[in-house]
Amino acid sequence: MSFNIANTGLSAVTQQLGAISNNIANSNTVGYKSMRAEFAALYAGGQPMGVGVSGITQSISSGGQLAASTRALDLGISGNGFFVTKDSSGAVSYTRAGNFGLDAQGYVEGISGRLQGYGVDENGNVMQGAIGDLQIRAGNIGAKATSKVDIVANLNKDSEIPKTTPFNKDDSSSYNNMNTATIYDSQGGEHTVTQYFIRTGENKWTVMHYVDGNEQAKQDIEFDTNGKLTGYTPQRLTASAGGAATLDFEVNLNGTTQFGSDFNVSKNEVDGYPPGERSGLSIDNDGKVYATFSNGQKMLQGQIVMATFPNPDGLQSINNTAWTSNNKSGNALIGVPGAGMNGKVESFKTESSNVDMTGELVGLMSAQRNYQANTKVISTNDQMMNALFQAL
């Protein structure tokens, strides 16, 4: 009987050693969750029969540390949740291994399959509800003609009325301040729009608008006793752009003030841009994926979805870093990163394995002692049997 009991011990410890060895081997595997052999005593009618392994479990709910990376599609999850992936057969799995890349068709793909998320419509809006393979569709981006110039400035209320008249853009003594912005035509050509600010009286100013050095409009503005614009209407400007479509845009000074401090421009923005080539990707904490371009623009491509479970440790393993749902885990609860109990997505980071190397080495030594103890029982049992047979 002792021989059989020791034999069960050897078998159980062998499985434990296999789990420990797998943990050590995968200590640098992204998203790996450590394994543990669960031991159970064996009985038959109250008679001890040794030990067995009731199962090999993974510490799925225990997260690893996020390690910095140099790739935008290396993704880590800060908090709860799993990435959702689908393989070529349509099988859905869940993973924390966020080392993704692009395939030849531009789909975001990982070891377990294509990353799932919400797509975008033709206007670039996220279409929540229909989950599918995330794809980066953007190629190069064309030019966009400027339609609006937003300027917020402060004009010094203590400025003197210029003594040099009439106004001459080439004579700085004929105006108080100026602001310049670069705008774009329909072909991406650059043009310069300039505003010259001239104080004309108490709380009164004149703004001269120029495009490419040519006068386009003269506009009178006025401030109230609190230094805020009053009765203001944005100025519409049109100008020739050579072979491109006529420039047609609005200059908006709303928010401009007249306080007793130096002239400064706190906002000087245009909504147009030149053409650009796709230069990379950027991913926000809420899982929105953007294609970035050489002209500084970005275009939304979709939004990553995440899954959480009532009991993540009950997930069924299909490999060391991916799992499927079952009755123990409960059904997947799908949402976007950062919403509800979902963690946030961290781009340029991957989740390291949660293997504790010190604990694994201690476990390895303990398993080795248990293995030796069981072999000693078998050896002793063999010696006793030999002695018994020799005595007969």
Higher model confidence: residue 367 or residue 273?
Answer: 273
Check whether 90 has a pLDDT greater than 70: yes
Q: What is the mean pLDDT of residues 298-302?
A: 93
The mean pLDDT of 58-65, rounded to a whole number, is: 86
* Mean pLDDT confidence for 238-247: 93
Q: Give 241 or 5, the one with higher predicted confidence.
A: 241
Domain segments of the chain: what residues?
A: 2-61+354-391, 66-141+278-351, 148-270
Q: What local confidence, expressed as pLDDT, does residue 237 receive?
A: 96
Q: Which residues are registered as beta bridge partners of 249?
A: 237
pLDDT tens sequence across 354-372 = 998 888 888 888 878 877 7
| Domain 148-270 -> CATH class | mainly beta
Q: Is the pLDDT of residue 186 over 90?
A: yes
pLDDT surpasses 60 at 392: no
Lowest mean pLDDT among 121-125, 129-133, 138-142, 376-380: 376-380
Supply the pLDDT for residue 129: 82
Q: What is the pLDDT, as a whole number, of residue 382?
A: 59
pTM of the predicted model as reported, rounded to 2 decimal places:
0.77
Please check the confidence at residue 162 and state whether its pLDDT lies above 60. yes
At 52, is the pLDDT very low, low, confident or very high (cuts 50, 70, 90)?
A: low
Residue 305 pLDDT class (50, 70, 90 cuts): very high
Query: What Rg do the C-alpha atoms of the chain give, in angstroms?
Result: 35
Catalogue the long-range contacts made by 286-295 (C-beta closer than 8 Å, 24 or more residues apart): 286/336, 286/337, 286/338, 286/339, 286/344, 286/345, 287/117, 287/336, 287/337, 287/338, 287/345, 288/126, 289/108, 289/117, 289/134, 289/136, 291/136, 291/138, 293/140, 293/141, 295/141
The pLDDT assigned to 285 comes to 95
Among 64-78, 91-105, 362-376, whose mean pLDDT is lowest? 362-376
From 360, 365, 371, select the one nearest 13 (Cα to Cα): 371
Percent of the chain exceeding pLDDT 70 equals 93
130-149 pLDDT per residue, tens? 899 999 987 888 999 999 99
Alpha helices in the chain (DSSP H): 2-25, 357-391
Which of 337, 294, 279, 282 lies closest to 116 in space, CA to CA? 337
Question: Mind giving me the DSSP string for 330-364?
Answer: ---EEE-TTSTTB-EEEETEEEPP---HHHHHHHH
Q: How far is CA 273 from CA 189, 267, 377, 392, in A?
A: 9, 17, 80, 101
- What pLDDT was estimated at residue 341? 87
pLDDT class of 390 with cuts at 50, 70, 90: low
Both tokens assigned to 25: 């081997």
pLDDT digits (tens, 9 = 90+) for 208-236: 999 999 999 999 999 999 999 999 999 99
pLDDT, mean over the chain: 89
> What's residue 273's pLDDT?
94
